[in-house]
Amino acid sequence: MNWMLALPELVLALSGLVILVAGVCMKKEDSFVPAAMLSIAAMGVTLFLVPLTPDGNGYGHVFVNDGFARFLKILILAGGILATIISIGYQRGSSRLPFETPVLMLFSSLGAMLMASAGNLITLFVGLELSSLSIYILCAIERDRLKSAEAGLKYFILGSLASGLLLYGISLVYGFAGTMELVPLSMIIAGQGGLPLGLQIGMVFIIAGLAFKLSSVPFHMWTPDAYQGSPTPVTAYMAGAPKFAAFALLLRLMAGPFGMAAPRWQILIETIAGLSMLFGSLAAIPQTDIKRLMAYSSIGHMGYAMMGLAAASATGLRATLVYLAAYLVMNAGVFAVIGAMRRGGREVTSIRDLSGLSRTHPGMALAMAVFMFSMVGVPPMAGFFGKFMVFASAWHAGLYGLLAVGGVSALIGAYYYLRVVKVMYFDAPVQEFDSPAPSLSFVSAGMGVVTVFFLIGLGVITSAAEIAAHAIAG
């Protein structure tokens, strides 16, 4: 048994347990920042260890480590680190989170990493539940806020339903294939020369369960309320790491065991992607709360990312991975700015509160404008390269209908993204925001620079995504 395969996960799990014990021993009012700093350090060390781990299967073939797993783990840990940094700046005024918040983000990231390395359908489910249970608690962690409790309850109920769908799909696959390991499952499906009806139904239930985690249409209903009601650092985390993990599972399953049956699931993925892009764009138009707008925006972005999967090719998988990297940067930056929207120590999230921001906080307005232009897909921002690559992969696969839906959705999306820029730069100023916390300024400025100069690192990201795609698609 090669312990090096799972060394990052082992280090992160042990670190989380130590931080949890240390936090309990500290005074309640002084424990958050040390716990957050220790969590950032633990995830940082784990991030350093991920590229050093070797390829291979371990622990009875339930754990697989390859270029694909490493790429997604880096995105997951980066999302966790950025969300934890945002949580430090959130600790002001009436917004006080318990020290368990960063520790739960750490354990949720651990579950997401297990999902990325799942070589068995039960490993997949265990990782998913570890990640999801932590997020259920994080959504409702501000117990004194009614909206936070509502967000946690809605996400828990609907998430439990999605977990049931996923588990039922896994049971059907096991019943008809006789194995839960992905490699033998691939061999069985290839040997049969087709996909039996029972396996097809199981595959559909698995896709439905994972689509919920991605907040894709028609499994999106939890997203706006969960995004709005959760504390901003939790929303920033929810919009990143868990979705990368769900994509890791979806890509590994569809390109691996079910790769032979691509013509059977391709139309389903196309439909989900098209509906997500169109609904996300249309539903975002009437929103007046910036967090709800970002919720519907994320639904659309998951649709764009699924265009690469719908192409059912190594090029499409690479495009999806690059899109997720660009989305991580934009998403973290936007929520850092949202976290800085405070007056008198209280968080405000109405789009109207951004009026005249360019005159009261020009740096914050510039960062937000950069992220909005990037989400539209304006070159040379990060979002442009992500959209260009997924659109190109769909074009080469002949998915012209999906391309048309994506193009229309992008044009609609430009309206509500540019409306935020218009409010900041052309509307009369309202009451000025409090000075942003240094950690929030650090994340928003840093992600703004990365968004603008994404082209510099595009070659490295694309090469890593190429290696990751070929690791699962051959």
Report which of residues 343 and 451 the model is more confident about: 451
Closest C-alpha among 295, 328, 351, 335 to residue 436 = 335
Tens-place pLDDT, residues 123-147:
888 898 899 899 999 988 887 778 8
Closest C-alpha among 104, 53, 116, 99 to residue 80 = 104
Helical H runs in 26-145? 32-49, 67-90, 100-116, 121-139
For 87, 110, 239, the CA distances from 14, given in Å and listed in that order, are 22, 11, 26
Predicted pLDDT of residue 307: 92
Tens-place pLDDT, residues 144-178:
778 888 888 888 888 888 888 999 999 998 888 88
Mean pLDDT of 314-341: 91
Give Cβ neighbours of residue 391 (< 8 Å, ≥ 6 apart).
307, 403, 406, 407
Predicted pLDDT of residue 97: 82
pTM for this predicted structure: 0.94
Tens-place pLDDT, residues 236-248:
999 888 898 888 8
Peptide bond into 218 cis (omega under 30): yes
Tens-place pLDDT, residues 407-428:
999 999 999 999 999 999 998 8
Instruction: For the chain, report the end-to-end CA distance as a whole number of angstroms.
Output: 26
Give Cβ neighbours of residue 170 (< 8 Å, ≥ 6 apart).
121, 122, 124, 125, 180, 202, 206
For 140, 227, 245, the CA distances from 240, given in Å and listed in that order, are 18, 12, 9
Lowest model confidence (mean pLDDT) among 61-65, 80-84, 142-146, 201-205: 142-146
CA distance 373 to 383: 8
For 200, 251, 303, the CA distances from 391, given in Å and listed in that order, are 28, 18, 12
CA distance 409 to 59: 44
Task: Report the mean per-residue pLDDT for the chain.
Answer: 88
